[in-house]
């Protein structure tokens, strides 16, 4: 045995020692990175509240391991998100990264997930391409094409043949516009005009006027959660409904967080989405009640992404018997299926995107408050963009 | 020979000596850079934050050059940061992966924009300047959003690849290379800025800031001088942006956001403007406060940060540095009195 062999043996035993050391670690840390301040703080509040609620309900011990949640505010700025993710991986040695309120925040972190082999749960950001950026990204929120396509299918069957689309001018908006147009055309519908509103300081009046001039059966709108109130208000003020133009939207516009403040102008608006606080199931009723008690607000679709994200981490840890190795956890996450408060969901093992039911809903008054009441279900919807690529 | 000697041993009795006094490096300054460099080994868990501080300090330093020394107010300094970031990011994405080369090109791109827009900015009063700089930044942001096929739009620019610095140091996940690289660039540019503001040119800028009508009457080509410093500051900000893009290997629209420009202004006021060190001290204080407060209360840290800022502005005229200087003077005064008794 020469010196080199001795050296190699020493290194190998050291590595083994390090590996067992990591194995014996009794705490599994989850780094939750969210916009907790700034314009997207409501997303952060929802997800943080839900993650903490999940841990309060299910305890912090899984498969003999103690779960520790570390919440960080990235202010919605991409380079900060990336730096925090890096610090969490390097300093805190987190086993899972989670959160991500906006698409660029998730995209900036994708290389870290790949490099460090840390499963990264995207709970809110909804552009289709995110899961393709790293094999370690899993999504428990939704993708915009996933919730848009069912609405475009429903519309032509319900007397809507000509539509003007109105979307916010950024990634998810373009996704929604494309998904709507393609699916709508298949059903024999026709898009008369595609309008894009700037993200900053949107003024909808001129766009609504152009939509009116095109004389469609309906106006399709996607804007990110929060901007929805302005659309609803101006749609009502400009009296497009009087010209026989219906309003159909993605559920982002009628976010449960702000829906009740929109007033009666929202009544009767049809939308499609994967979650409504009014979803009729025992799981959801329990969740809404618990969340109202702990956070004093309704859960919204971002919140439920956070709740299911935590559930997925717990399930995966159970499956690996508490082994928090990144690759093993990731494998354990693929193909998981469970009954979420939003209905039955599963993780597509190929795309790592969530497969879920999408609902067509209508705004109605329930017990004096406005809710999106579901009246039709499209089961097991996959992200159509990735399905089309195959 | 005589001139060289007096450079090393400035004599405050003569006019030349008074001018040279601030040029000399004080022990405290040297100590600062040594500590900053040693943190690379002493605080490996904090280098990612330190990297962010170094980049921010460079950006605020560039604002100090125009605001603190030349009196040009700006609410759109982020425009140059953004141009530098996108230039460096796009270079990295399309195969030019040498960081230093990227840094220089990004600086040049931002400098070019600075030169062109300086003619707009230098017209009119302070209020007009605020509006014009703000407008330029807003236009750039919208352009970056519209040309999504080049910049990645609101999704951000992904796929930025960076080669090793000088062909030697690979960017690592711990951020060591990133910090070493950013700190070196900050040091070099700080050194240059220090020479610049203490040169006759720098003194002339301060005179223009004091009274531009009068310097004009004395035959100083005021506008020419201001165009030069505005362009230099733009190069600095562009390099800061390039560092940001290269060390995070991602560029998103928020590099052009209004809050970047506003933060820089805030930090400069916090640290103390017109003294170069104010930019560095302000950045350190701001980021450490943010990191500390946001860890305690991720939701409400802005409130506490705001409170601290208000207090500093109320009680410490001239920011942190001003506060330190005035307390030192006060202390010296008290001690001097005591000795006299």
Burial of A231: CB neighbours in 10 Å, binned 0-12, 13-18, 19+ = buried
Tokens standing for residue A200: 């900053």
Contacts of A78 in chain B (CB under 8 A): 156, 248, 250, 252, 254
d(CA A257, CA A267): 16
Task: Tell me how many residue pairs between chain A and chain B have CB atoms under 8 A apart.
Answer: 102
- Residue B44 predicted with pLDDT over 90: no
Q: Is the pLDDT of residue B164 over 80?
A: yes
Count Cα atoms within 13 angstroms, Cβ side, for A38: 17
Convert chain B into a string of H (helix), E (strand) and C (coil): CHHHHHHHCCCCCCHHHHHHHHHCCCHHHHHHHHHHHHHHHHCHHHHHHHHHHHHHHHHHHHHHHHHHHCCCCCCCCHHHHHHHHHHHHHHHHCCCCCHHHHHHHHHHHHHHHHHHHHHHHCCCCHHHHHHHHHHHHHHHHHHHHHCHHHHCHHHCECCCCCCCECCCECCCCCCHHHHHHHHHHHHHHHHHHHHHHHCHHHHHHHHHHHCHHHHHHCCCCHHHHHHHHHHHHHHHHHHHHHHHHHHHCCECHHHHCHHHHHHHHHHHHHHCCCCCHHHHHHHHHHHHHHHHHHHHCCCCHHHHHHHHHHHHHHHCCCHHHHHHHHHHHHHHHHHHHHHHC
pLDDT in tens, A238-287: 888 888 899 999 999 999 888 888 888 888 899 999 999 999 999 999 99
- Cβ <8 Å between A133 and B158: yes
Closest of B249, B291, B74 to residue A110, by C-alpha? B249
% of chain B at pLDDT higher than 90: 38
Determine the Cα–Cα distance for residues A260 and A263; give it in Å rounded to an integer.
6
Which pLDDT tens digit goes with each residue over A143-186?
999 999 999 999 999 989 999 999 988 878 888 999 999 999 99
Q: Do A108 and B250 touch (CB under 8 A)?
A: yes
- Give the minimum alpha-carbon distance from B117 to chain A in angstroms, rounded to a whole number: 23
pTM, 2 dp: 0.81
Interface of B with A (CB under 8 A): 45, 48-49, 51-52, 141-142, 145, 148, 153-156, 158, 173-175, 244, 248-250, 252-255, 257, 294-295, 298-299, 301-302
User: Would you state the pLDDT for residue A5?
Assistant: 58
Query: Would you state the pLDDT for residue B8?
Result: 43
Q: Six-digit token pair at B292?
A: 């500390």
Q: Mutate which of B262, B298, B300, B306 to test chain A, going by most A C-beta atoms within 10 A?
A: B298
Residues pairing with A163 in the sheet:
A191, A218
CA distance B254 to chain A (A): 6
CB atoms within 10 A of CB A148: 32
Please give the Cα distance from A73 to A87 (Å, whole number): 13
Q: Scan residues 82-111 of A and list those with Cβ closer than 8 Å to B.
A: 82-83, 86-87, 89-91, 103-104, 107-108, 110-111
> Any chain B CB within 8 A of the CB of A198?
yes
pLDDT at B167: 81
What is the residue-averaged pLDDT of chain A?
Answer: 88
The domain limits of chain B are: 2-340
Mutation to test the B interface, candidates A42, A43, A71, A79, most B Cβ within 10 Å: A79
d(CA A228, CA A273) in angstroms, rounded, equals 14
Which residues of A39-161 form beta strands (DSSP E)?
61-62, 65-73, 96-99, 120-122, 137-139
Share of chain A above pLDDT 70, in %: 93
pLDDT mean over A199-211: 83
Other CB atoms within a 10 A radius of the CB of residue A135 amount to: 15
Bridge partners, residue A248, by sequence: A220, A270
Whole-number Å distance between alpha carbons of B262 and B268: 10
- Evaluate if residue A379 carries a pLDDT over 70: yes
- What is the assigned CATH class of domain B2-340? mainly alpha
pLDDT digits (tens, 9 = 90+) for A315-373: 999 999 988 899 999 999 999 999 999 999 999 999 999 999 999 999 999 888 999 99
Give kind and range of the element (H or E) at residue A336. none
Residue A96 Cα distances to A72, A144, A310, A313, angstroms: 14, 25, 10, 8
Q: What are phi and psi of B149, to 5 degrees?
A: -70, -25
- Considering only CB atoms, which chain A residues are within 8 Å of B86? none
A128 interaction partners in chain B (CB closer than 8 Å): none
Q: What is the pLDDT of residue A143?
A: 92
């Amino acid at each position: 045995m020469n010196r080199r062999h001795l050296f190699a043996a020493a290194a190998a035993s050291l590595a083994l020692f390090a590996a067992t050391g990591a194995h014996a670690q009794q705490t599994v840390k989850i780094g939750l990175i969210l916009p907790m301040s700034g314009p997207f703080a409501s997303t952060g509040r929802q997800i943080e509240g839900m993650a903490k609620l999940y841990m309060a309900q299910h305890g912090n011990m899984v498969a003999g391991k103690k779960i520790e949640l570390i919440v960080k505010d990235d202010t919605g700025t991409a380079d900060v998100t990336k730096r925090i993710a890096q610090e969490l991986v390097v300093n805190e040695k987190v086993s899972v990264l989670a959160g991500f309120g906006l698409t660029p925040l998730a995209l900036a972190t994708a290389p870290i997930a790949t490099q460090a082999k840390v499963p990264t749960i995207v709970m809110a950001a909804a552009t289709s391409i995110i899961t393709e950026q790293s094999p370690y990204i899993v999504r428990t929120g939704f993708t915009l094409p996933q919730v848009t396509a069912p609405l475009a299918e429903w519309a032509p069957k319900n007397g809507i043949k000509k539509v003007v689309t109105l979307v916010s001018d950024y990634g998810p908006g373009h996704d929604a516009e494309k998904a709507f147009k393609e699916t709508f055309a298949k059903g024999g519908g026709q898009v008369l005009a595609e309008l894009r509103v700037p993200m900053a300081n949107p003024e909808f009046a001129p766009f609504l006027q152009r939509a009116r001039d095109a004389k469609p059966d309906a106006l399709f709108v996607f804007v990110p959660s929060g901007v929805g109130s302005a659309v609803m208000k101006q749609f009502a003020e400009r009296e497009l409904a009087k010209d026989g133009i219906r309003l159909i939207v993605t559920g982002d516009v009628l976010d449960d967080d702000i829906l009740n403040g929109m007033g009666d102008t929202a009544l009767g608006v049809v939308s499609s989405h994967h979650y409504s606080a009014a979803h009729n199931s025992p799981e959801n009723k329990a969740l809404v009640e618990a969340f109202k008690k702990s956070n004093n607000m309704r859960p919204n679709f971002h919140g439920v992404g956070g709740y299911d994200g935590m559930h997925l981490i717990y399930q995966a840890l159970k499956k690996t018997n508490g082994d928090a190795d990144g690759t093993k956890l990731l494998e354990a996450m693929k193909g998981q299926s469970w009954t979420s408060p939003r209905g039955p969901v599963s993780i597509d093992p190929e795309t790592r995107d969530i497969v879920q039911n999408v609902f067509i809903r209508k705004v109605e008054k329930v017990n004096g408050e406005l809710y999106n009441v579901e009246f039709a279900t499209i089961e097991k919807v996959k992200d159509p963009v990735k399905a089309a690529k195959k | 020979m005589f001139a060289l000697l007096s450079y090393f041993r400035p004599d405050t009795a003569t006019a030349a000596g008074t001018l040279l006094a601030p040029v000399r490096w004080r022990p405290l300054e040297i100590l600062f850079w040594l500590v900053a460099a040693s943190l690379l080994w002493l605080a490996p868990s904090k280098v990612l934050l330190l990297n962010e501080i170094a980049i921010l300090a460079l950006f605020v330093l560039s604002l100090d050059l125009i605001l603190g020394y030349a009196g040009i107010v700006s609410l759109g300094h982020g425009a140059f940061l953004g141009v530098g970031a996108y230039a460096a990011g796009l270079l990295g994405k399309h195969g030019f992966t040498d960081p230093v080369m990227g840094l220089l090109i990004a600086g040049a791109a931002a400098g070019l924009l600075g030169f062109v827009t300086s003619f707009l900015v230098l017209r009119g009063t302070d209020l007009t300047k605020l509006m014009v700089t703000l407008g330029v930044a807003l236009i750039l942001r919208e352009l970056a959003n519209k040309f999504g096929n080049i910049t990645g739009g609101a999704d951000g620019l992904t796929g930025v690849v960076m080669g090793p610095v000088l062909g030697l140091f690979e960017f690592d996940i711990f951020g060591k290379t990133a910090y070493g690289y950013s700190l070196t660039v900050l040091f070099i540019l700080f050194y240059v800025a220090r020479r610049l503001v203490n040169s006759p040119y720098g003194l002339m800028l301060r005179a223009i800031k004091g009274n531009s009508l009068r310097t004009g009457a004395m035959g100083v080509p005021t506008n020419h001088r201001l165009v030069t410093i505005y362009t230099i500051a733009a190069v600095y900000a562009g390099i800061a942006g390039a560092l940001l893009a290269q060390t995070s290997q991602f560029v998103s629209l928020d590099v052009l956001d209004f809050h970047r420009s506003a933060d820089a202004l805030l930090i400069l006021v916090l640290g103390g403007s017109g003294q170069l060190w104010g930019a560095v001290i302000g950045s350190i204080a701001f980021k450490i406060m943010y990191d500390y407060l946001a860890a305690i209360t991720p939701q409400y840290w802005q409130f506490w940060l705001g409170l601290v800022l208000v207090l500093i502005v109320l009680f410490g005229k001239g920011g942190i540095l001003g506060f330190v200087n005035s307390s030192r003077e006060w202390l010296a005064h008290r001690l001097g009195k005591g000795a006299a008794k």
